[in-house]
């Protein structure tokens, strides 16, 4: 009976352990030249757009979102030619179901352990290439761009679902990045046990823009 109890306890422990976020892993490379804007300009709907994230540790998950402070996408002949977005990091809103530690978590993420917003209040994404994809379940376009977090910039490539109307545009994407590539190493040590924070973070983009 004791052996059975131990076996069940171990099984439950492993079942409760959280893994790193699942999803399409973004290709990461060195910074590339930003695409030149040509064609019509679509301005981001700041109220209707957001950047979300999911971070995990062995004993739980944290979710949150940021607002844009500016953004625009250039479109010519039905194709995205360029785009630039500035993210207001201080707009961080934790969306965990359990709100007990929302204030503490917000302050920690904005501190020098993570975003260090006293010195880097914004993040930026600039499109370097956009390629239409056909018969692909992950998205309609493959987008590449320079993502700047704090003082570090890396080029990321990910699939996105883009819907282009005559006067409006929507773009939605989900992909996983490794935060350590942008110098965010806090908690990235498995010897920390329950306090270990997985380096992988799932990013979600929900962009609305209008002419």
**Tokens matching residue 40:** 């019509």
User: Which pLDDT score is estimated for 17?
Assistant: 62
Kindly state whether residue 6 falls inside one of the protein's structural domains.
no
Range of the domain at 71: 18-210
92 near 110, Cβ under 8 Å? yes
Kindly state whether residue 166 falls inside one of the protein's structural domains.
yes
Kindly state whether residue 105 falls inside one of the protein's structural domains.
yes
Average pLDDT rounded to a whole number, residues 169-194: 96
**Tokens matching residue 82:** 């360029």
User: Which pLDDT score is estimated for 7?
Assistant: 39
User: Which pLDDT score is estimated for 22?
Assistant: 84
CB burial of residue 169 (10 Å; 0-12, 13-18, 19+) = buried
Average pLDDT rounded to a whole number, residues 197-208: 98
178 near 147, Cβ under 8 Å? no
Kindly state whether residue 115 falls inside one of the protein's structural domains.
yes
User: Which pLDDT score is estimated for 18?
Assistant: 74
- How many domains are contained in the chain? 1
Query: Predicted confidence band at 8 (pLDDT cuts at 50, 70, 90)?
Result: very low
CB burial of residue 173 (10 Å; 0-12, 13-18, 19+) = buried
Question: What ranges in the chain are assigned the alpha helix state H?
Answer: 2-16, 102-110
Better-scored residue on pLDDT, 5 or 19: 19
Query: Predicted confidence band at 15 (pLDDT cuts at 50, 70, 90)?
Result: very low
Average pLDDT rounded to a whole number, residues 64-74: 98
Find all residues with CB under 8 Å of 117, minimum gap 6, and list them: 89, 90, 110
Taking the model in full, what pTM does it have? 0.90
Kindly state whether residue 13 falls inside one of the protein's structural domains.
no
Backbone angle region of 187, left / alpha / beta, with phi > 0 → left and psi within -120 to 50 → alpha: left
Kindly state whether residue 11 falls inside one of the protein's structural domains.
no
Mean pLDDT for the chain? 92
What's the CATH number where 204 sits?
2.40.128.110
Average pLDDT rounded to a whole number, residues 26-52: 98
User: Which pLDDT score is estimated for 4?
Assistant: 40
What is d(CA 199, CA 168) in angstroms, rounded to the nearest whole number?
Answer: 35
């Amino acid at each position: 009976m004791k052996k059975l109890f131990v076996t069940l306890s171990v099984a439950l422990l492993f079942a409760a352990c959280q893994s790193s976020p699942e999803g399409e892993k973004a290709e990461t490379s060195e910074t590339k030249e930003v695409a030149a804007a040509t064609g019509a300009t679509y301005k981001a709907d700041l109220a209707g757009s957001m950047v979300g994230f999911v971070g995990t540790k062995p004993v739980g998950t944290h979710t949150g979102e940021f607002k844009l402070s500016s953004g625009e996408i250039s479109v010519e002949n039905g194709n995205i030619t360029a785009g630039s977005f500035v993210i207001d990091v201080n707009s961080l809103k934790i969306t965990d179901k359990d709100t007990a530690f929302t204030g503490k978590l917000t302050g920690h993420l904005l501190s020098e352990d993570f975003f260090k917003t006293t010195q880097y209040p914004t993040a930026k994404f600039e499109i370097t290439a956009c390629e239409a994809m056909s018969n692909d379940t992950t998205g309609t376009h493959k987008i590449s761009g320079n993502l700047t977090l704090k003082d570090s910039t890396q080029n990321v490539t990910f699939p996105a679902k883009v819907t282009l109307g005559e006067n409006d545009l929507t773009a939605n994407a989900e992909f996983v990045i490794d935060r350590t590539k942008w110098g965010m190493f806090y908690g990235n040590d498995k010897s920390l046990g329950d306090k270990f924070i997985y380096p992988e973070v799932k990013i979600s983009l929900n962009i609305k823009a209008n002419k």
